[in-house]
Structure 1
Amino acid sequence: MIFQLPSYKVYLSLERGLSKHTVKAYINDISKLFSYLSNSENTEISYDNITDKHLIQFLAAINELGIEASSQARMVSGIKSYFQFLVLSNYLEEDPTILLESPRLKRKLPETLSLHEIDKIMEIIDLSTPEGIRNKAMIELLYGCGLRVTELCELKISNVYTDVEFIKIIGKGNKERLVPIGTSALKHLTIYLNERRKIVAANGFSDFVFLNRFKKSLSRISVFNFVKELALKAGIQKNISPHTFRHSFATHLIEGGADLYAVQEMLGHSSITTTEIYTHLDRDYLKSVVLQYHPRS
């Protein structure tokens, strides 16, 4: 195959350890690159005859389409990774992406919820139904452990250690991390697990913590919809998603004085620079820190 995409996919999954969502995005971007170049050149393009001019032409085209800078940056990252793979695998001698630059990104602060808003959402959940008990445990874990939505959906009973108050998370790139469970999250997770053990799951789903009405694992989209519905019922106007609870978890920890490296470990970030975005603390808090700890204050 002229694209070598199957081999590239294996490389991304096994050697780079990227998540299946990232792998899919990279593969799609490379396919778009070849499709665009083949159409614009009126001939089939192979990896071994692409030049830096071709790549610049493609990036200019997607920029004209109004694609967001973050998506363009991901495309550049995927293209660079693809040609690096071809060089490493001896399919190419030279990498045409060496001089390729990503668009500069504005560092966007994540949307977060206040403690009052978190409480409003927690209170709106109806605990009189089995579904409500499950949903309460889900929200408590999203906020109390800073989980990604995929990590929540794929959480296994065998990775929940209520006796020592930890859960084992399989994060991006299949990286494992241990995350402590707070008192409230542990309480509602324990209540739900007592109910969960009465449910006979569908084949292949017996170890999943959270199940849908078909006794299978929850989908990411169902959690997204559930969170949107909760926010609406609680009267919260912000555009929130399951990830908003993860942002709030990190922000509230840092505002409370938590060590940045400890937060990095709990979030499963490979780089501390990713965690640093949560240091957008309010001025009053920063001022109080200076007044309390600076020797000349």
Structure 2
Amino acid sequence: MSRNPERNDRKSGNKAAFAKRPDGPSDGGKKGGWNPNPPAKSFREGAPKAPRGAKIDSDNLIWGRHPVLAALSNPARKGMGRLLATADRAAEIERDELTPHGHVVELADSQALERMVPSGAVHQGLVFKVAPLEGVPLDDIADPAEGVIVMLDQLTDPQNVGAIFRSALAFGARGIIVQDRHSPALAGALAKAAAGATERLPCARVTNLSRALERLADLGWRAVGLDGASDETLEMALDARPTVLVMGSEGDGIRRLVAEHCDVLARIPMPGGFESLNVSNAAAVALYEATRKQSA
């Protein structure tokens, strides 16, 4: 496994735009952004209410029980962000000592939390205002070469990417590789879909996927790209060697230059006659098959 299993994600280039708290401490006159280490408020003090119509920056939010608790248990989150919870969740956190890195709970009612997250988001009584973490260097998850890595080529849907993180962690993948400019932040809806996996599975954000595949080849990895038009099946293409599973977007698939850097392209056979799987479902099938080959 990675030498840094608890690190993940880059810092967002956008500053968070949370409204100034009417009863909170002064920001010292500074404008733009928020203090990631505000003076702690008491567990029993009320949380601020965002003004109506305020823009929600979900890249700086994690919500839902599993994602928030995973973030709180991540050592890399120590000293970061603000934790807001309903009375029931706050009592659970206090009772079960679920803030090992010193985060102080701020009490908020459910309606206040609903105003902080996107419409329709299920916060389950927990919201964590926190900037995304730094990503890990590519070599951290690739050296030594063993096991399985997943590379995502311009997947932008946060639900799909989050589901792939969840499957990758479940099947013991070493980490995820994404292109920095064309991938969503590992927060918000993505973190919710991942159910905490983004806090436990390392993510390397690289400038160029083709060059990353060249580096991986130098380290001893074999790249298998998923392509529904390939004549070779995934079972035929996979073996026990260290494997990078390359997944493309549902619309365009793997880009030409990235495909050219794969050692082989393979398809998932679908005898039922349906044309294609959702990319996150295809990733789960590929991960299962790849890990089965690794243990054979």
Higher relative contact order (CA 8 A, sep 6+): 2
Larger Rg: 1
Provide the TM-score with structure 2 as the length reference.
Answer: 0.29
